[in-house]
Structure 1
């Protein structure tokens, strides 16, 4: 399979996952790009940060399409968006700075461990006790800042962590996915701008179509199909329970995470 075909197919799955689970698709796109960018001729020294930056750029497009579809279905709870968006951006600034400042192999290991955590969280959903259901703004904002930092650090857009947070506070799944999609648009857009202004020429590299740590051909290849399939996933999320889909995807995450931990 050619690199272009692989990117297009990856975009299909990223779009579906974005719409159905509100996760932006980064947990699929980043490993895909880590494996594919060397084939496309990029040097090993910038593979991981470029995979993360490019992933965030695709998430900004994909989740916008997903969020728009969820808005049409009336699923977005805007008070949650207003509370989370500012702290996600703050965390995104911290995560983007750290993401281009540490060893790429360490970054790959961090990403793999986060995939395992997310997989376990999808398989085992802890339901809060009654006394834990009260929403404490300081607690939500603290978690939001941490989510922003982690998401920008490993290139996942934030939805994969926002959904469990909202589920903890008993937000219905379809609405949690919708809020996560909007939050991912905000965080991914801001983080993309940061990654686009860092790297590349700063490391003495002059690579065609590389803008900072965003590789434009890979970005366009994935976005071309992900933006089309995100509304399909959003429609499925409003009609079908996503529990079984989460379990299947969690199994995929475990396989990918183990591979990333033992390679490099």
Structure 2
């Protein structure tokens, strides 16, 4: 088992990376807690969720201060995610874990393809994040709720933060890259809180590991938006989609072959 002293550093590295790219890092936290820390599955799951809450909490605040969060869109996504997480939690107990992992691999690869299509044909919206958020159309509002339901369902079924659905979904709703990243982190905070609530009865949370790992992740997540502020929007637009697609394909292959 890894020494507790190293947990804040590992948490900071993961938290900073996933927050900068618009993620919650649930799958990475879970894998680190199982493979590096040596926690059993039933303890790693709620501990990972607690870490995601800390990371995205600080990350959301940082993105909000930078003006990267479309609050109204993000709030509707969170409302939908609460319902989706409940549905997933009620379903997952009757499905074999190995089957869920392989299904996740297929989903990740499919989403990677969708991301590339959206990235290829997406037209960057004009105006500020505040303008886009204020002009919330019925289509964008209903799409935000549907996106939240899918995100919550994916999180509860596969134990991930929902980033694979959120990022391409927010791009499809017409948000610019910086708003996609910030709003994604904000929405994942709501997903993680819902997950902690629905699975609270499972128990098994390791408070020492959660605190040590989570504090480091929160620091990394809070510092990441400052780095994003110095990146040109057109460059972020150009690399975020393909980078996410590559990571999704690699992770999908790993799940399909049973390595993850």
What is the TM-score with the length of structure 1 in the denominator?
0.76
Corresponding residue of 1:76: 69
Say if 2:74 and 2:186, in contact at 8 Å, map to a contact too: yes
> 1:112: how far off?
3.0
Counterpart contact for 2:8–2:215, Cα < 8 Å: yes
- Structure 1, unaligned runs of 5 or more: 199-210
Q: Determine if contact 1:18/1:63 at 8 Å carries over to the other structure.
A: no
User: Residue 170 of structure 2 corresponds to which residue in structure 1?
Assistant: 166
Q: How far 1:109 moved relative to its partner? A: 2.2
Per the alignment, residue 91 of structure 2 pairs with: 98
List runs of 5+ in structure 2 lacking aligned partners. Answer: 125-136
User: What TM-score do the two structures reach when normalised by structure 2?
Assistant: 0.77
Please say if residues 54 and 218 of structure 2, whose CA atoms lie closer than 8 Å, have aligned partners that are also in contact.
yes
Q: 1:18 to 1:111 in 2, by over 3 A?
A: same
C-alpha contact 1:16 1:233 (8 A) present in aligned 2: yes
Match of 2:188 in 1: 184
Note the aligned Cα RMSD (angstroms): 3.1
Structure 1's 120 and 216: CA in aligned 2 closer, same or farther, altered over 3 A? farther
How many pairs does the alignment contain?
Answer: 242
Task: State which drifts further: 249-258 or 65-74.
Answer: 249-258
| Residue deviations 1:73-123 (CA, integer Å, cap 9, x gap) | 122222212322211111111122333443222232233334434444555
Please report how far the alpha carbon of residue 32 of structure 1 lies from its aligned counterpart in structure 2 after TM superposition.
Answer: 2.9
CA contact (8 A) 2:34 2:44 kept: yes
Confirm or deny: 8 A CA contact 1:17 1:233 kept in the other structure: yes
Residue 224 (structure 2) aligned to one of 209, 233, 252: 233
